[in-house]
């Protein structure tokens, strides 16, 4: 488990900023303590610094996961959010999805048209539960 590199942090924060905007700082400096992001096996975990200090006693090859999995980096170094991050993003979110059409267009659109691009759903969590570790 290691801290994210500058490039990894930039890519992940750009993705998170699409959903929670300036509220990104509120994820790090919370009233219940300071939280940070750590990378382990291409997955990004959101963890309290208190827990992180306790986990320092466990060797990296024995550690399966720590904290909440926020997402993972693909082989092409893109960041993909996991549905497990939704509980932490929802209070700060401007909306969890990317609009395909403007508000005006949505009012006149055909019922089968795409209005919001899919990001995550609970069914996805169930379908991929064994790979979310």
**Span 109-129, average pLDDT:** 65
Average pLDDT, the chain: 81
| Cβ atoms of 60 and 84 closer than 8 Å | no
pLDDT of 13 reads: 92
State both tokens at 3: 């801290």
**Span 32-59, average pLDDT:** 89
Between 47 and 112, the more confident residue is 47
Distances (CA, A) of 71 to 27, 101, 119, 133: 15, 26, 12, 11
**Span 40-68, average pLDDT:** 87
- Look at residues 35, 89, 93, 97 and name the one whose alpha carbon lies nearest to residue 67: 35
| Cβ atoms of 58 and 69 closer than 8 Å | no
Element containing residue 29 per DSSP (H, E): strand 29-30
Q: What is the pTM of this model?
A: 0.70
pLDDT in tens, 7-43: 999 999 999 888 888 888 888 888 888 889 999 888 9
Residues 6+ positions from 58 with CB-CB distance below 8 Å? none
pLDDT surpasses 80 at 57: yes
pLDDT of 69 reads: 92
Q: What's the half-sphere exposure (Cβ side, CA atoms, 13 Å) at 25?
A: 1
Lowest-confidence region among 2-11, 94-103, 123-132: 123-132
């Amino acid at each position: 488990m290691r801290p994210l590199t500058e490039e990894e942090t930039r890519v992940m924060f750009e993705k998170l900023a699409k959903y929670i905007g300036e509220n990104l700082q509120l994820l790090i400096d919370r009233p219940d303590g300071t939280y940070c992001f750590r990378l382990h096996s291409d997955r990004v975990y959101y963890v309290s610094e208190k827990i992180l200090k306790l986990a320092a006693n466990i060797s990296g090859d024995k550690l399966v996961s720590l904290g909440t999995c926020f997402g993972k980096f693909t082989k092409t170094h893109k960041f993909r959010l996991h549905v497990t991050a939704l509980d932490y993003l929802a209070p700060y979110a401007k909306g969890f999805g990317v609009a395909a059409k403007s508000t005006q267009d949505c009012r006149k659109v055909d019922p089968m048209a795409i209005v919001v691009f899919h990001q995550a759903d609970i069914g996805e969590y169930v379908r991929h539960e064994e790979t979310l570790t």
